Chain A
Amino acid sequence: MPGEEIDLAALEALIFASEGPATAASIRRAFADLAPGSISPAVAQINARLAESGRPYEIAEVAGGWQFRTRPEYAEVILAAKPERKVRLSRAALETLALVAYRQPLSRAEIEDLRGVDCGAVMKTLLERDFVRIVGRRDAPGRPALLGTTSAFLQTFGLRALSDLPPLREVESLIRAPALEGEVDASALEPLAEPVEAAPDENEIRFH
């Protein structure tokens, strides 16, 4: 098969029959003289045809491969048929997952430090559901496990790779921005900002 003329129907069949995303490696095994970088345009062509003919699914590029996925407007009917399929992620799980995704590899203690709460139960769930795995151990006292995300994470969140994660906002921008507009005194030793009424001290006493 010449490099230019990839058989779109054959490629579609291969992706359709693949369990999990069809990897570039498996596609290359089937189409020997495929020009580098020619899979994505070919998939785009297939997707264009699927859209034209009003098919309820398309090929998504996820976790380093290509996979047929239904369009979001059919979520309701699919879940109606099998409600237990629905992926449920708590706020805590999402926050923890975001931390692991962007900061990996990192230890549970580091996650707890960043979130300010214990993450044991959440971490257990994420490990069990294969969104997070132990990727190594830090060479430090206690040899804490280092956590990272899995292919299942990329697949669930529709990411091609970790580099596909949306860029994080700069922490600095959150801290510095107000100083630019609001003329905050850098020494900042004034007890209170203006519009605030003084807090009654009795509240603190309860916690001493």
Chain B
Amino acid sequence: MDSSPSREETSLGRHSCAIKLHAFEGPLDLLLHLIRANEVDIADIPIAAISEQYLAYLELMRSLDIDVAADYLLMAATLAHIKSRMLLPPDPDILGEDEGEDPRAELARRLAEYAVFKDAADALARRQLLNRDVFAAEPDASTLPEKEGVLAVSLFALIEAMQGVLGRVSPAAQHHIVSRERITLQQSMIEVMDRLRVSAGATLRFEELFPSGLEASRERIVLAFLSILELAKIQALLIFQNATGDGRPDGPIRVRLAVGDAPDEAEIEAAAAEAEAEFSTRVDLEEVPETAATDEPETDEGGDAW
């Protein structure tokens, strides 16, 4: 969209080819533009000529694949209606109501009203705008969230918005399919080692080695426990507990990374892989179909035991 054509450029008679592209704010804006371009008065619109130009403009918009909004078509109909009323003698039946009234009066009033506000908008735009022409010190961004006001939203607007969001969800996605999160013993061992490493040599309480929050599924906790045992077995970590005077273990169980001849990264990885292989073999046995599992009644089906 280009800037508006100057009045001189668009004169009567050279209509369609003389009209340059201009972003109009609706049918009233377009009509007002044509009226000013033709230098005619709002109160005395040459309806035939103006509606011709109006339709030519709509045609132009269509030829350029610009959507002609229904508002523009309504105005085209209004113009045609006014034109026909002006050609016909006054209807004697309705003579009483608007006797002698110019059929263009209502349109003229709307145009004049629109022109007033269009000018007012121009006047507003010419002011020295904050954050365009003049600037105040920017408020501290960290204080902004507190200044958020209460949204004036109606319940129905919320419901509408919610429906809009739901409408975008594909039918397949509407059902949440619960799938068991899979983590291997190997991954779990690496996690345990990571937790210990993050603590940089300090000891961790036994409980701190376990996943927490949403991650803390039964399966994950059991795997973490197995991991600690496996890692202790290869002496990658050490497990402590204080003893009372009579040698009874007491107090929290603590775990820390082994030092000295502790297995290096590769050895831990290898041990983890080995433990994993052994472990998953056991799990596989448990997961054979029920018919095969029935001869081992102490084994729970599937992963439910976890």
Contact = CB atoms under 8 A, between A and B. Distances in A.
B86 interface: yes
Interface stretch (A3-11, A29-37, A45-53, A68-76): A68-76
Given A114-B113, A168-B120, A188 B104 contact: yes
Contact of A156 (B109, B110, B116, B129): B129
B87 A191 contact: yes
Given A115-B25, A193-B40, A174 B46 contact: no
A98 interface: yes
Interface in B111-148: 112-125, 127-140, 143
B185 interface: no
Contacts of A89: 125, 129
Contacts, number: 197
Given A72-B128, A157-B124, A207-B77, A174 B133 contact: no
Nearest to A20: B139
A158 B128 contact: yes
A116 B110 contact: yes
A170 B23 CA distance: 26
A206 B44 contact: no
A208 B84 CA distance: 13
Interface in B44-61: 44, 46-49, 51-52, 55-56, 59
B149 to A, nearest CB: 8
A176 B83 CA distance: 21
B48 A191 contact: yes
Given A19-B139, A157-B129, A208-B80, A98 B44 contact: no
Of the listed residues B43, B75, B120, B149, the one surrounded by the most CB atoms of chain A closer than 10 A to its CB is B120
B46 A158 contact: no
A193 B46 contact: yes
Interface in A94-129: 94-95, 97-99, 101-102, 114-118, 127
Contacts of A91: 23, 25, 121
The B interface, classified by DSSP as helix, strand, loop or mixed, is helix
A146 to B, nearest CB: 11
A166 interface: yes
A204 B41 contact: no
Chain A interface residue number, banded: 35 or more
A62 B25 CA distance: 30
B152 interface: yes
B10 to A, nearest CB: 15
Contacts of B139: 19-20
Given A68-B136, A72-B134, A87 B129 contact: yes
Contacts of B90: 189
A110 B125 CA distance: 22
B71 interface: yes
Of the listed residues A97, A99, A115, A192, the one surrounded by the most CB atoms of chain B closer than 10 A to its CB is A115
Contacts of B87: 191
B100 interface: yes
A199 B132 contact: no
Report the 5 A-B pairs with minimum CB-CB distance, sorted nearest first. A199-B52, A117-B26, A178-B41, A196-B49, A174-B112
Interface of B: 12-13, 23, 25-29, 40-44, 46-49, 51-52, 55-56, 59, 69, 71, 73, 75-77, 80, 83, 86-87, 90, 100, 102, 104, 108-110, 112-125, 127-140, 143, 149, 152, 154
